[in-house]
């Protein structure tokens, strides 16, 4: 065979050389070097016994981070939003009544998806950043008697944490299933899936798990599994059909789609890093880093958007001080210090900074580094 010539292409792009970033935003977050090393290991086939074992390991490790020992776990081959759509597509049948606790952007997204899947939607509206008391949650669910209830555990757009226990108890009283959005909470703060009584949870890899984006780990309660087995109409999405995915990943290993092998390698490694640290230690590390962060923020006279008792330890919303151009501060942080944070959007546009102190960044040293650069960007003496 002749040697192939490699002519210069008409297309000239520079070599891949990403700038160094400190990812202090709501995600993606910093990734452990071990996880990058796992990403670049040689792939095997998606039906190879080795990969089947990798999927099984990942499912076990996902149970650990969710606190979901009595549940089934699986991983969707798409990002957190694919996990959200998998939850809706599989558990919200056309025509069924779907109740949403609507206090932020991601409950709006849940609403939009449920609408597209033909649900009959009722929303309990609150301002972005507020949460629901146990009594409010109970009253809403008892009054509406929905088939499915959805809430966002840690709302990335607002920084508010919604406890799920009262929601789940009330939902189960009326025979409803509960979908819990754990995109920002998983790996950073406790989800306590079994204890809380969530039926269907989805998350992402790129926030509390400190892995690049690309997969969505899910947990599904026994109750939800039984319900799904009894569902007689197929979900509108074939790609996100949990029965087919469960069969591929866990039961027959029959081909459904070609799973993103490298991303599974990375997720397994990210979960191993967490297992080695110990999940409770990790949560405690995030809590400590958050206390230190909030102390620093308040010391320079800034205010948190959410009251202390409803904050998310790994994702904070800080009020933009009067007269400060938040976009300019973010630009300065990114260009001057390589630090990424996010602004608010929707009703919080221009009003808050969204700052994530997660994974490898959740240490005293990194918090102090961040505060120093943040003060510089704000033009605050410190």
| Footprint on residues 152-191 left by a copy of itself (CB under 8 A) | none
79 counts as binding a copy of itself under rule CB under 8 A: yes
Among 52, 66, 71, 85, binds a copy of itself (CB under 8 A): 85
Residues 309-348, mask of contacts with a copy of itself (x by CB under 8 A): -------------------------x-----x----x---
- DSSP per residue, 107-151: HHHHHHHHHHTT-EEEEEE--BTB---HHHHHHHHHHH--SEEEE
Residue matched to tokens 């390589």: 338
**Complete edge-to-edge strand list for the sheet that includes strand 177-181:** 72-76, 216-220, 200-202, 177-181, 148-152, 97-102, 120-125
113 counts as binding a copy of itself under rule CB under 8 A: yes
369 counts as binding a copy of itself under rule CB under 8 A: no
285 counts as binding a copy of itself under rule CB under 8 A: yes
For residue 257, give Cα distances in angstroms to 33, 46, 91, 323, 335: 29, 8, 21, 52, 41
**Count of positions on this chain that bind a copy of itself (CB under 8 A):** 93
In contact, 81 and 109? CB cutoff 8 Å: yes
User: Which helix (H) or strand (E) segment is 152 a member of?
Assistant: strand 148-152
- Span interacting with a copy of itself, options 132-140, 144-152, 217-225, 251-259, rule CB under 8 A: 251-259
194 counts as binding a copy of itself under rule CB under 8 A: no
381 counts as binding a copy of itself under rule CB under 8 A: no
The minimum distance between CB 353 and a copy of itself, in angstroms, equals 14
Among 145, 195, 225, 239, binds a copy of itself (CB under 8 A): 239
Kindly give the interhelix angle for 134-144 and 165-173, rounded to the nearest 10 degrees. 20
10 to 69, contacts with a copy of itself by CB under 8 A?
Answer: 10-11, 13, 16-21, 23, 25, 27-28, 31, 36-46, 48, 50, 54, 57, 60-61, 64
Give 60-103 as a 3 state SS string: HHHHHHHCCCCCEEEEECCCHHHHHHHHHHHHCCCCCEEEEEEC
86 to 105, contacts with a copy of itself by CB under 8 A?
Answer: none
Does the N-terminal peptide bond of residue 100 adopt cis geometry, omega within 30 degrees of 0?
no
Among 67, 78, 180, 188, binds a copy of itself (CB under 8 A): 78
Question: Which two tokens mark 278?
Answer: 């110990």
Which residues touch 322 (CB under 8 Å, ≥6 apart)?
none
198 to 227, contacts with a copy of itself by CB under 8 A?
Answer: 204, 206, 212-214
The DSSP bridge pattern shows strands 216-220 and 72-76 to be antiparallel
Cβ proximity to a copy of itself: between 192 and 262 the closer is 262
- Span interacting with a copy of itself, options 95-103, 106-114, 140-148, 169-177, rule CB under 8 A: 106-114
- Span interacting with a copy of itself, options 78-86, 136-144, 187-195, 310-318, rule CB under 8 A: 78-86
Among 120, 163, 225, 237, binds a copy of itself (CB under 8 A): 237
- Span interacting with a copy of itself, options 189-197, 221-229, 260-268, 315-323, rule CB under 8 A: 260-268
80 counts as binding a copy of itself under rule CB under 8 A: yes
């Amino acid at each position: 065979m002749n040697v192939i010539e490699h002519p210069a292409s008409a297309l000239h792009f520079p070599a891949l050389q990403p700038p160094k970033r400190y990812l202090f935003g709501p995600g993606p977050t910093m990734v452990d070097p071990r996880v990058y090393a796992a990403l670049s290991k040689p792939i095997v086939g998606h039906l190879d016994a080795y990969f089947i074992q990798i999927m099984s390991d990942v499912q076990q490790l996902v149970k650990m981070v969710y606190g979901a020992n009595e549940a089934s776990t699986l991983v969707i081959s798409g990002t957190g939003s694919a996990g959200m759509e998998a939850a809706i597509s599989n558990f919200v049948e056309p025509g069924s009544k779907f109740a949403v606790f609507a206090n932020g952007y991601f409950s709006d997204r849940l609403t939009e998806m449920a609408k597209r899947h033909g649900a009959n939607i009722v929303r309990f509206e609150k301002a972005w950043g507020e949460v629901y008391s146990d009594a409010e949650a109970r009253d809403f669910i008892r009054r509406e008697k929905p088939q499915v209830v959805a809430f966002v555990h840690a709302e990335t757009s607002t920084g508010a944490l919604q406890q799920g226990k009262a929601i789940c108890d009330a939902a189960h009283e009326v025979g409803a299933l509960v979908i819990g959005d754990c995109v920002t909470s998983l790996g950073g703060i406790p989800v306590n899936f079994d204890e809380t009584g969530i039926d269907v949870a989805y998350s992402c890899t790129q926030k509390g798990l400190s892995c690049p984006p690309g997969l969505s780990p899910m947990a599904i309660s026994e109750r939800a599994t039984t319900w799904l087995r009894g569902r007689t109409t197929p979900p509108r999405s074939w790609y996100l059909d949990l029965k087919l995915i469960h069969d591929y990943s866990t039961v027959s290993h029959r081909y459904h789609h070609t799973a993103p092998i490298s991303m599974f390698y990375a997720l397994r490694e990210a979960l191993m890093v967490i297992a080695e640290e110990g999940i409770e230690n990790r949560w405690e590390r995030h809590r400590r880093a958050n206390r230190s962060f909030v102390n620093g923020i308040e010391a320079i006279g800034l205010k948190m958007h959410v009251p202390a008792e409803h904050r998310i330890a790994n994702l904070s919303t800080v009020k933009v001080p009067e007269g400060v151009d938040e976009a300019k501060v973010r630009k300065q942080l990114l260009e001057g210090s390589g630090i990424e944070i996010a602004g608010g959007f929707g009703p919080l546009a221009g009003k808050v900074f969204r700052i994530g102190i997660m994974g490898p960044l959740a240490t005293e040293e990194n918090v102090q580094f961040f505060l120093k650069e943040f003060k510089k960007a704000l033009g605050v003496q410190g």
